[in-house]
Amino acid sequence: MINFEKATVRLGQRRAELEDLSRISATARDPVALDQQSVGRLSRMDALQQQAMNQATEATRQRDLMRIEGAERRLRDGEYGYCEDCGEEIPDGRLAIDPMAERCVGCAG
């Protein structure tokens, strides 16, 4: 049986975690400034690579936030915890690992 109270707490905790990480890493995604005092081209390339990785990580966070919104909508609609493909109940263990899961293990594979 799906524990909707636990699901609400899990989703809220995950949302807060993602939003905190996004705030903390905001400056790491800023444009890389050309620093004439820096060691040179390799330092700038390293900074650009790091910026790109931070931007990719942020994109993943934003996708997860959208998945959380979808899970919260399914909670409101009474559809949370049921596979979108086969309609079977998603085990609580799977939802504990990924509270935004939309599919059971069999359909997600």
Is residue 70 within 8 Å of 100, Cβ to Cβ? Answer: yes
Domain 4-108 listed as CATH 3.40.50.10150: no
Beta bridge partners of 89: 82
pTM above 0.85, yes or no: no
pLDDT digit of tens for each residue in the chain (109 aa)? 788 899 999 999 999 999 999 988 887 766 766 555 555 566 777 878 888 888 899 999 999 999 999 999 999 999 999 999 999 999 989 999 999 999 999 999 8
Cα 21 from Cα 58, distance rounded (Å): 9
